[in-house]
Structure 1
């Protein structure tokens, strides 16, 4: 057998389907029986092999062996679908092509193509691929993130959805490499539970394959994750070797559950508070399902969750039962919510209660319709309504009395109880009304104010009954003497007022005022005693320039009355601008003082105190000065009496103390080392309950401050507040000195009780020392008392060198006076401290 015959026999008997193709036109040049069997009645020799291929595979065949395939002597393969006729059935074949050597005769190129039947295998692959694709689509659409933990190979897989639901880039690696790192992303409250669940999963505990927890999203917020897993492979000891599971974002569900729980809690609280009971009854049954509050309303001690409907109906009042049954029937017919109110006798105690009833039909989609309703006890509401009806009847019965009382109240609100004249409130309203009318009609209004002279003497001499007799007499005279349209009122105490209308001259008003005085001066009798009264009258008219409203008339007539009283009894004064000017002038000192306080015009001056033996700087006394607009400074004598009369010394003391402490702090911060400050503390300030609180807020350093208190006002007699303040002042590290010692009446016991740090000898005792041996003896006695009690002695009023020498010889500790230094403003005191500092360092 020749080689060609042998080759042909091999090809012909091969189990493969083989065909020789023309590379140029893909014509079948030769084929064995197996290929012919596959391509029967479709491809004959000389026809294109494309006739037996699936249309989608034509180009693939061309790419395999066509002119543009680039196939030379290499072998290539691909998968194709082959069929014996155009409509199928198609069979998957693995086509392998080999280029045959060219013949010497120059015939066109040929390819030997082998077809291996892979249809069953390919269809299984396609089916598996389709199933896997459907599974992937299902997972993506369901929002489930897949994870695969292979503990055998230590490979951990997380799907794109798993990454996406956590906000990670699907193409990037996860931001952790170990379980402990991932646990840091779990909510702290869930971390221990999740770590425990993972450990239990690793030992195969089925109770921990599913759990919920919170994990931090990539953008920072927390999301709820539902984790479900199961073991798919096991180690020999039956521990899970591989666990596959899914994660799902259940944040919306958890939020909805939380909202639902919160809503349910609020609803339950509302129902419990309102004591509303809820029940449910299937129409075709006799069973009622109810909450515990229904049992409370009907008195069911056993508190059943369900009961026969007859049990409740038997408790309804017989007069209400038929009506309730009719309402229930109407509910079925009209299918609209129905409400009613009825009475029940509670089962446990037989008490009669009123119940409100609201029911409606509910169809859940099944054949059984339900009646759902609520009941609540309205017994107290019914009783309240009954009480209201009774109260209304009582109110209607008293309407007449109330109307009459109303008029009495209105009259009392606008009238004086003693004279029955209109009161000040009525006067102000009436004056405003009349001024308005006068502005429209061109008429004028005047106001007279009357004050009974020396009225207090009448009360003290003859008694208050006589005083009332005078007031009623004055009211009657004013009413009798007034014209028909005048308005008379009692404005308070022994003061009266009269509104008078006039047209031209005011002289007639003065004449009227004199006539009133004459009539008031007629003798009065009381308890067989005859006496006379007089009245001062102030008159204001609309003749004055400026405002002429009701408030102005009241103010001006009041000023005129004060001016009349200042002139003596029985005087009449008509208001003029000069009266206001005089009043304003009288007010000016007080006003200026108040303005000075508001503008911080009170400033501290400082007078140095020196050691008697060395004349070293010992302390600084702080004094208040009034800074005037022209730059001059007022001495304390120019404002202290007025400030004390107006109770303003506390404000001045507080201002001076605050400024002095600021200056002292400034000197200390600049390295000048200032000595202790001493300030006078007024009696009012010492008894101020707020003194200690204000001092505590200043954060005083110990050794900064000394308070000087007048000997005559505190040592022997102290109120509780002053005594408390003295104790607290010492606890704050503030020293106490007695000022002007020797001018008061302090006892030795009082001095021992207070135990001051220093005694300041009054200047009245120091001034006569150069020429009075008696004064020297007195001062020496004071100094010896101080030495005995370990109290430092300070002498003020040191005006000459002789004063300083005598006091030093007598044993005085500290000197202060004009010979040593006058009071200095803050800047000059700073310069003195700076000079002393330089001298000390030289």
Structure 2
């Protein structure tokens, strides 16, 4: 058929040619050629028409996808005009499509984000990047802002020139708000973990520590860094480690809370009894990932329980004794009355003890019969007390609970060990949870304390509900776009989708299979969600794990919808993908902190920035008697006991405002009106901008500790021999005095006193005599002091004195003289030994000699050393050392002036080498001082003095002239042309007319301007930018080169570099020294090279000393280098020889 059609076509062509051209063959050929061209043109036109029709259909399909896309898409002209946007983009910016397309992207961009956006656009147009991604804010017509993730790429024409920008926008406002809320809650809970006095620790399934709060650090005696990474066996000896390991396994097997008590030897050697609450740490999949342990030191509680048992036994003994007395002494009425009074007093004592406890207290015999019962709150009993006493447990409790109680009673009597268990009882107002603690009270009696823990259980459930809400809040929108054509079964992906799955390229369609990438546990569920969305038209929202290109599974959330045609037939399935891994990990950390919050037995109160209570924990309600409902929305003022004045609270608030932390003791009020002494810690929680968002208060009841703490406080801060403050208290008072002096602009003095020949007295007359002498000295010194001064014994025979409010420095000298005079009289010991007491004193003044406790004490110690060296029995100021330093500086200045006049300065030259050719193309002139007495003095010793005294200008002028004269001499000697670089100090740059000075030197020496390069620091340029720009422009007009020395150590910006006429950037040697060992320095150096080249500036690396550093610079296309690898700085003659050797090799 094809051959027949071809033959017919040929005949038709020949016939047509004969009709057109006649019988001449040559004319036939021309006619056939014309007809063939016409046929070919017609075929091409028809083919083009079909292609255009197909293209229009494809464009319509793309336009439909873009219009219905779940993300905002826009086309932007090079001048910023939004030429095309889809409906989602218009919704995001709060306008219609027509309104949006009349705007520029600059019009809707938040002013704070515009500069960064424009910088990225500039990089895109310059070809430095092929796309960029950033988070920014858009402004809506109602003045609200909306956060988005913006991805921008540049579309180019067939000629390679930029045509327009393509932008994809995803609304992340909800994500930002959720992240902010999550961050605030996480900060609050972290603050609570750090503040509570309970020991909090987290271990993995192998028993290795992952976290330990400060209370745990104090108990274990190690820092958190030392604890983390160690196992239980590496922290605790046996059998403690084995017991802890068994408790962990029990909590994991029961998947619930395990309570136990353990005894530990604390870091200070004391033995502490710790009540431990151990529970599994659950991951996001509900599986245990570790163990969380919260421990509370219950040593005092156990002590109180023993006291209660003793009181109970004493009460029974008194009752028995009273009964025997009544039977034996019925005839003696007076004695009987005395016995009754004693019995009543004992009963009142017992009732007072019981009334202080909020729990039910039972006394059981070995068979579970209730022997006695005490209850401070009678409403907790379901029947009168008299009806309960004498009844068996089986009469009151369900069978299962009766068996449990009898089991624990038996264990208490058999093992003499406390028992703790929880149970639930139905009461008229609902089910209540109780915790029962049992301990032996006699040979066949058990004392049991029952506590209602219903509120704790409810709080735990409420927290779990809160955690569930939090997980929903942190679900953010995705940023990976997919589009599945259900007709052709083709899937296309956005570039971000590939990056989320860590693909090296953007083409996933070849080997991507959604089902195969899903985690096996998530596969069926996720595929079912996709089918439901396609079949029933429901939105697709699913969370699942997918395997990335590198093999790692990460959590994602997919959201999308099915697009249908006019007949309801599914056409496409498109949506976005969000990486949830980091967010879920953050939720897990929040869950951990929430468990700690619920487990602590210290009261916690959280307020907002306006001091309104927003949250309290269970312990708060237990300690202060208020319910959570009663305190929410109130201020902490409702707890005020009236024992503190207004100044106390103002000082507390001032310290919170100044440092963000307040700690101390405070008296608050219980709901029943009774005062409660507390140890309170308040911390300010700040947002990323430094603004206070909440306050967290953590407190503990210290009623039973105040007296013992007062005794310990004195022993901890005072010397037991002299009763003077010790070193710790002295340092605290010195620190406080310094803060006060700084605030009020006052002066103070620190004096160190040391007894002369005290060791001789100890050795000659014994330590008892030495102790007597120390107490005598302390007494004599105290008599000479003002009430505001502080005298302390630091140790041995060393005393320290703090003088407040020093009006004149002579005040310290006068007091020192009085102290020396007061101790000049002979001292007689209790045994009649008479000795002369001498003392040496060192004085240091704030703020002249130091501003910190350490520097003041060091200064006073140095002055004391000087006083002993000057003959003892005298005082010396630390200012003597300062005088010596000042004299040395004056001496250097005088000698430096002579050096300038006598020609002692000289220049050394270090080669600057072209990296490509390896040839020396320049030299940096470096000044040296050839002192006739000390030899060659480096610049580090005399340049700072020159800058401080103004000599730097004269030295700089000499260096400039000498370097130019030497460079001209090398040119005249026929050596290859090179550039000589001269350093200009910031003072020289700003004080002198530098351009005029340079021009005069060039005229005098005849050196061409192109052979001179001036090196300036970043700081000199940035100090006065406008003035610096004028000076640089004048130098550029002269033809002189300009280099920025030590680049990377200052604060110059890219915008400043673009404005300044700069020829060379010199990378500071600090970024070269650690190459190739420090990847950060390598990245910085590479970035400086790339930035310099992008601005058309040459880059020179300083301090190159190794072949590896040189190879790195060659790989990064650095232009020049200098350093010891090529040559040290050389005198002019040696440098000239180096140039001649290079010239001879070239020749």
Is TM-score (shorter-chain normalized) higher than 0.5?
no
Max Rg structure? 1
TM-score for the superposition, normalised by structure 1: 0.32
TM-score by length of 2: 0.24
